Structure 1
Amino acid sequence: MEVLKLILKNALRHKLRTSLTVLGLVVATLAFGLLQTVVGAWYAGADAASNTRLVTRNAISLVFPLPLSYENSIRGIEGVTGVAYANWFGGIYQEPKNFFPQLAISGRSYLDLYPEFVLDEDQRAAFLRDRKGCVVGSKLAAQYGFKLGDVIPIKGTIFPGQWEFVVRGIYDGRQETTDTSQFFFHWDYLNETLLKTSKRRGNQVGLYVVRIDNPDNAAAISGAIDRQFKNSLAETLTETEKAFQLGFVSMSEAIVVAIRVVSFVVIVIIMAVMANTMAMSARERLAEYATLKALGFGPGFLALLIFGESLLIALVGAAIGIVLLFPVAHAFSAKMGTLFPVFEIAPQTLLLQALAALTVGIVAAIAPTLRSMRVNIVDGLRSIG
């Protein structure tokens, strides 16, 4: 207990310097945690992907469509228990900055493949009845104030024209990691319009979502689907939903790597600041350490004092940074809107923050500890700090 009191008094001896060091640790720990959460949000879609769903797209690129006639062929492959299809719409709501995922889906079959989308039965029925109906995620509805019955005008980009949709349902996520920022409407509505305005683009889909009976057979079923359409005018590439999502992440991999690097650079910088603080403290106390040695206290006791002070400062700064991460992450998520559909602080992030602070405290104390242990009693007593 007396040692703890001595460590605390040493830490508070220079209150301004200690306060500024703690502040730096708070900022560094907070920045580290926020950047790690951003990286986690980048991979949220892949992490939440189902291992019983496959995605089939055009082998050349996602921008090239597939014929609607492929549905029955895929459904007939052994191991397939459900098939749905969708088109990326890519329209503009009010202004270009209002980006959110918009998908024309195959109605009932698509919703059946995504049980993680929790939709009231009455709302589901209303959506299936209304050709112009749409279903929006709860996060998207909260951001733009969408309510049941609202008419949402969207300007088409991939599919030109002014489109109007009626909100018939607002879905929630079964888990916190479920994406609730999406906008779904009927593929039939899109297709009927295209058959009138651009018949060549009709009866085509962007991708198929395939449910399988056993995740262990994913590779075999994927191969069977792709062989079915080999040498056709629209060959396919089938992969797991997770691999499909990771394909999008890989397009911005350089950004993700840069964010990771920056998060660790922040820790290295604060480690240098912390080491300098502890070095200054040790240099000022050489005479005290020499006195303790003369009184019979060994090097281990001196190491305990220095490491204890360093760890105390580091852990206090980390604790404040970890506590502040929650409101800051919430505010950041609200500001980003649907750019990060899932923005949750992972337990691993909190653990990394604590480990980073612990590492900073230990590393910063090594040099001053070695110096104090090696100080000669006579030279130390002559020291004036």
Structure 2
Amino acid sequence: MYALRLIIKNALRHKLRTMLTVLGLVVATLSFGLLQTVVDAWYAGAEGASNTTLITRNKTSLVFPLPLSYQAKLRGVDGVTGVGYANWFGGVYQDPKNFFAQFAISGQSYLDIYPDYLLPEAERAAFLRDRKGAIVGRKLAQEYGFKLGDIIPIKGTIYPGNWEFVVRGIYDGRQTGTNTATMFFHWDYINESILKTAPRRGNQIGVYVVRIARAEDAAAVSATIDAQFRNSLAETLTETEKAFQLGFVSMSEAIVVAIRVVSFVVILIIMAVMANTMAMSARERLGEYATLKALGFGPGFLALMIFGESMLLALAGAGLGIALLYPVAAGFGAKMGTMFPVFEVAPLTVLQQVLAALGIGVVAAIAPTLRAIRVNIVDGLRSIG
């Protein structure tokens, strides 16, 4: 207890220096945590993917569709327990800045594959009955104020025209990481109009979503599906949902890597600042260390004083940074709207912040400790005054 009081008094001896050092640690810890949370949000879709869900798309590119007739063949593949399909719609709601994901889906077969979308039975039934019906995620509904019965006008880009959808349901996520910033509606409604205006584009969908009985059969089922459509006019590529999501993330991998690098550079900079602070403190106290050695205090006690002060400053800054991370992340996520459907601070991020603070405290104290231990008593006492 005496040693702790002495460490605290030493840390508060130069209050301005201590305050600025802690403030720097707060900024560094907060920045590191926020940048890591952004990276986690980038990978949220892949991390939340089911290991019993496969995605079948056109082998050439995702922009090329697949025939609707493939659905029956997919259902007949051994190990497949459900097949749905989805098509990216890419429409504009009121203003091009109002970006959010919109998918035309196969209705019940699609919803059955994604049980993490929690929808009251009455709303689910209303959606399935209404050809113009749509369901929206809770986050999306809160962002734009959508309510049950509202009509959402969407200007088509991939599918030209002015479309109207009626909100029949608002879904929640079973898990905190479930995407609730998406709008779903019936592909049949879109297809009916396309068949009239552009028949050649009708009965074509973007991807098939395939549910399998066992995750360990994913590779075998994927190979069987792709072999079935080999040498056809629209060959397929089947992969796990996680691999499919990671394919999108890889398109912006350079940005993700840059964010990771910046987050660690911030830690290295504050480590240098912290090391300089501890070096200044040790240099000012060489006479005190020499006096302690003359009184019989050993190297262990000197190391305890220096390491204790360094760790106290590091953990104080990290603690404040972690405490601020949650409200700052919540505000940032709200500001980004549906750009990041899932934006939450992961426990691993907090652990990394704590470990980074401990690392900063240890590294910053090494050089001052070695200098204090090696100081000659006579030379140290000569520096007093």
Aligned residue for 1:272? 272
One-letter code of the match for 1:334? A
One-letter code of the match for 2:315? L
Aligned residue for 1:198? 198
One-letter code of the match for 1:46? A
**What SS does the corresponding residue of 2:57 show, helix, strand or coil?**
strand
One-letter code of the match for 1:119? L
Aligned residue for 1:17? 17
**What SS does the corresponding residue of 2:74 show, helix, strand or coil?**
helix
1:85 is displaced (CA, Å) by: 0.6
**What SS does the corresponding residue of 2:317 show, helix, strand or coil?**
helix
Computed over aligned residues only, the root mean square deviation of the Cα atoms, in angstroms, reads: 0.8
CA distance in 1, matches of 2:100, 2:223: 33
Q: How does 1:110-125 map to 2 (within 5 A)?
A: 110-125=110-125
Aligned residue for 2:262? 262
1:94 is displaced (CA, Å) by: 1.1
1:378 is displaced (CA, Å) by: 1.1
**What SS does the corresponding residue of 1:170 show, helix, strand or coil?**
strand
Aligned residue for 2:182? 182
CA distance in 2, matches of 1:221, 1:295: 77
1:96 is displaced (CA, Å) by: 1.1
CA distance in 1, matches of 2:381, 2:197: 93
Aligned residue for 1:297? 297
Say whether residues 1:213 and 2:213 are aligned partners.
yes
**What SS does the corresponding residue of 1:300 show, helix, strand or coil?**
helix
1:384 is displaced (CA, Å) by: 4.6
Aligned residue for 1:378? 378
Gaps of 5+ in 2: none
Aligned residue for 1:282? 282
Aligned residue for 2:144? 144
TM-score normalised according to structure 2 size? 0.99
CA distance in 1, matches of 2:167, 2:348: 38
Q: Is the 8 A contact 1:21 1:274 kept in 2?
A: yes
**What SS does the corresponding residue of 1:63 show, helix, strand or coil?**
coil
Aligned residue for 2:104? 104
CA distance in 2, matches of 1:55, 1:143: 29
**Deviations for 1:119-144, whole angstroms, at most 9, x for unmatched residues?**
01111111111111100000000000
1:214 is displaced (CA, Å) by: 1.1
**What SS does the corresponding residue of 1:166 show, helix, strand or coil?**
strand
Gaps of 5+ in 1: none
CA distance in 2, matches of 1:374, 1:263: 36
Aligned residue for 1:249? 249
One-letter code of the match for 2:116? E
One-letter code of the match for 1:215? A
**Deviations for 1:247-286, whole angstroms, at most 9, x for unmatched residues?**
0111111111111111110000000000000000011111
Aligned residues: 385
**What SS does the corresponding residue of 1:362 show, helix, strand or coil?**
helix
One-letter code of the match for 1:330? A
After superposing on structure 2, the runs of 4+ consecutive aligned residues of structure 1 that deviate more than 2 Å are none
CA distance in 1, matches of 2:123, 2:299: 73
1:299 is displaced (CA, Å) by: 1.3
One-letter code of the match for 2:92? I
Aligned residue for 2:224? 224
One-letter code of the match for 2:328? V
**Deviations for 1:97-120, whole angstroms, at most 9, x for unmatched residues?**
111110000011111111000001
Aligned residue for 2:64? 64
CA distance in 2, matches of 1:97, 1:19: 42
One-letter code of the match for 2:38? V
**What SS does the corresponding residue of 2:45 show, helix, strand or coil?**
helix
Aligned residue for 2:156? 156
Q: Is the 8 A contact 1:284 1:384 kept in 2?
A: no
Say whether residues 1:342 and 2:370 are aligned partners.
no
**What SS does the corresponding residue of 2:100 show, helix, strand or coil?**
coil
CA distance in 2, matches of 1:296, 1:212: 73
**Deviations for 1:130-182, whole angstroms, at most 9, x for unmatched residues?**
11110000000000000001111111111111111110000000010110001
CA distance in 1, matches of 2:382, 2:73: 90
Aligned residue for 1:135? 135
**What SS does the corresponding residue of 1:134 show, helix, strand or coil?**
strand
